[in-house]
Amino acid sequence: MSNKSLVVITGASSGIGEAAAKVFSQAGHPLLLLARRLDRLEALNLPNTICEKVDVTNRDEIKAAVEKAENKFGPVDCLINNAGVMLLGLADTQDPTEWERMVQVNIMGVLNGIHVVLAGMKQRRHGTIMNVSSVAGRKTYPNHSVYCGTKSSVHALTEQIREEAASFDVRFIIIAPGVVETELLSHTTAKDIVEGYKEWKETMGQPLESEDVANSILFAYQQPQRVCIREIVLCPTRQNK
């Protein structure tokens, strides 16, 4: 049994979430991994880990999973809100159900996770919540209007809840990567938009790897509790001209 604190990661079946699970496991933390694809979580085969099939838009599912993990590993000390979807399109042609999906996952999913763990963290006067946003929360991009809107919301709510929780020694940290090699683009169904995005990405040089972001998340968490790195923005060092 690990003597380190429990870490909860949403969207842990691929990309940044999967990479974060690996680096936190290597650092000795017990884990609760949440995603819709349970088989992908279990395939990681990490020690001291509970894998649960959870939809982050369902607060009760998150709560039940957290209670199960806390009964085994003790209180949650770190929540990494990583689950997200990116559905690109134009405001006059995109299926509005895709907007609803992004709002539910990218905003409500984050709030649901916060709601489940924050009260306990405040009571214990210790804890860290990391919300994975995007540079799209600070800057807009073609075909990204609603996605950018959801990520801007993550920035805003994180910054305000940080102010409210700081007096209880609970940290809130925004992780805002640029283009990362993940499965995120596969959520978009419009082929012309997907091809345009791929062409644009080619002009950006070497994208970030999920491991780059995961290492930054671990770095921020490992700082003394009195140190809150409010936001980490990541981008490749060199870009094509």
Is 197 an annotated catalytic residue?
A: no
In a domain, 29, yes or no: yes
Mean pLDDT value across residues 230-235: 94
Domain count, the chain: 1
| Angle at which helices 109-124 and 59-73 cross, to 10° | 40
pLDDT band, very low/low/confident/very high, at 208 (cuts 50, 70, 90): confident
Whether 239 is in a domain gets the answer no
Q: Is residue 146 part of a domain?
A: yes
Strands (E), 151-238: 170-177, 231-234
User: Which pLDDT score is estimated for 241?
Assistant: 47
Q: Which domain holds residue 101?
A: 6-234
According to DSSP, the β-strands at 49-53 and 31-35 are parallel
- Tens digit of pLDDT for each residue in 144-186? 899 999 999 999 999 999 999 999 999 999 999 987 765 555 5
Report the C-alpha gap between 141 and 87 in whole angstroms: 13
What is the per-residue pLDDT across 24-75, written as a single tens digit (0 to 9) for each? 999 999 999 999 999 999 999 999 999 999 999 999 999 999 999 999 999 9
Residue 201 has pLDDT above 80, yes or no: no
In-domain check, residue 1: no
Does residue 88 lie within any of the structural domains?
Answer: yes
**What integer pLDDT is reported at residue 139 of this predicted model?**
87
The answer to whether position 158 is within a domain reads yes
**Strand 6-10 and strand 31-35: pairing?**
parallel
- Please, are residues 229 and 182 in contact by the beta-carbon 8 Å criterion? no
Lowest pLDDT segment from 112-116, 136-140, 173-177: 136-140
**The predicted structure's pLDDT at residue 194:** 60
According to DSSP, the residues that pair with 32 across neighbouring strands are 8, 50
Indicate which CATH number applies to the domain containing 127.
3.40.50.720
Q: 168 in a domain, yes or no?
A: yes
Span of 76-90, 134-148, 184-198, 201-215 with lowest mean pLDDT: 184-198
Judge whether 241 lies within some domain. no
Q: What residues contact residue 140 under an 8 Å CB cut-off, 6+ apart?
A: 148
Which residues partner with 91 through β-bridges? none
Return the closest-CA partner of residue 151 out of 98, 106, 99, 109: 106
Least-confidence region, from 46-50, 82-86, 87-91, 204-208: 204-208
The structure tokens listed for 167 are 């007096």
Alpha helices in 45-95 (DSSP H): 59-73
